[in-house]
Structure formats: C-alpha cells, structure tokens
Amino acid sequence: MPTPEEQATGARDLGALDGLVSDCRACPRLVAWREEVGRVKRRSFADWDYWSRPVPGFGPHDASMLLVGLAPAAHGGNRTGRMFTGDRSGDVLVAALHELGLANQATSERRDDGLRLHDVRFTAPVHCAPPDNKPTPTERDTCRPWLVRELELMRPTLRSLVVLGAFGWQAVMPALAQAGWQLPRPLPRFGHGVRVDLAAADPDRPGLAVFGCYHVSQQNTFTGRLTPAMLRDVLARAHAVATEGAATRGEAG
C-alpha cells in the first residue's frame, strides 16, 4: 500500500488530497481506535453513523488564512467527518469566526449544516482521532506529508497561519520548512499571541505570518485560560495580515 508521502506528493489539488486523506490507514493504533469509537459510540450519539475515518481539511481552497489544530475529537470530527464540528471546541471557534465575518453561521454541528468559511480553512497535523487526544510522535510524523502537501497547494494564496496549541506548533514547523518556508534558528517557542514571520525559501514567493493561540479545548475555554475575546484577537490579527497580503498580491497581479 502506498505511504502517505507517496500519495500526498501525487495530489494535484486540495480536493484530490482530501479524498486521499479520508482513505488513509497508515497508523494501526489510530485506525483501531477511531473505528472502535464509531462502534461503541457515546450514548448521546447512539443514533449516529460515525464517520470513523481520517478527517480532511475543510474550507475554501484559495483561503489566505489557515487554522491548524491538533487532531479530530473522538465524538466530534471522528463522528461528523468535518474538522471542528460536533463538539465544544468547534462551537467556540466557529462562533469567533462568525463574529469576525469569516463564517456564515455561529455553529458547527454536522457536515450538512450549511457552514461555509470565508477566506479561512481548517486542518490538523494528525487527521485521525487519537486515544486520550495524544498522538504519538511516530503518528504525527507519519501524517506529516498530508500537511506538507496541503501547505504546498495553498502556497499561492496563503498569507497567515494560526496554530492552536503547543502540539500543533511543534508539528507544523517542520512541515512549513518542507513546504517552502525558512525557519529561524533557534525555532520560535509557542505562546499565545506569538507572531513569527517566515520568509519563503524562494525569494520570489511571499512570506507567511504564523500566530500561536491557546487551543480551543474545553479545558482552556471552561477555565478561562482562553476567552472568546483572546481568541477573536488572534484570529483578527491573523486575518488582517492575510487580507493585507491578498491585497498586495492583487495589486502585483
């Protein structure tokens, strides 16, 4: 069976990449867990037909802003088949995007609920729900080629990236280097509100502004470590950079 790297390299567009991601079975532990969750189910979702497959990215292919999380939630994305959908994390994130005019509605409940994102896309460094929300380093690295190719395909329009949480921050840095951006040395440390500007390896290509943000997990939002105002602030700053970059791109063209 082809490896994720072999498959990802051959994807000509994000639609093809998303389809390949959805069929991946490269990590036995994650395959077993996501499918077990779909069989056992949570009592409140007993009537659901769980997705129980890798969850691809979601949002417009020409977005100028990308949000990178950790991995799908067992009874969220793994159930619904869409990133940040069907759980509290998705509710908080989509509500913030809606307030900023980046989503057409404030809720994210199921794949067919009509949600549309404006100029922003969701993805994750690990596309399968992991036990205890903790992928292993090997699983993270095995999944990396999907993220690298997604970044490569978005490079013509991508101008800002928001990373939700320290795990995503650590996972996305090597992917950015592989996808054509230069990383500073030492590598920047994760922090809420941190901004790092990366130059493209190709001097004729635009750079990328990377922002850190606490993850929209229930633990963070319920304890107040991440408030809606804090989340909106980072998202607004990142989209302002993306919009400025898009305007510059339009003038140059």
- The pairing of strands 208-213 and 120-123 is unpaired
pLDDT at 251: 40
pTM for the whole thing?
Answer: 0.94
Determine the residue type at 131. Answer: P
pLDDT at 244: 87
Determine the residue type at 72. Answer: P
Total domain count for the chain?
Answer: 1
Q: What is the span of the domain harbouring residue 158? A: 4-252
pLDDT at 94: 98
pLDDT at 245: 63
Q: Which two tokens stand for residue 38?
A: 């779909």
Q: Is 51 left (phi over 0), alpha (psi -120 to 50) or beta?
A: alpha
pLDDT at 248: 55
- The pairing of strands 208-213 and 195-198 is antiparallel
Spatial contact of 166 and 144, defined as CB atoms under 8 Å apart: no
CB atoms within 10 A of CB 251: 7
CA distances from 153 to 8, 159, 162 (A): 11, 13, 17
* CATH number of 65's domain: 3.40.470.10
pLDDT averaged over 10-residue windows placed end to end, the chain, 253 residues: 93 98 98 97 95 98 98 97 97 98 97 97 98 96 98 98 97 97 94 97 94 96 97 98 71 40
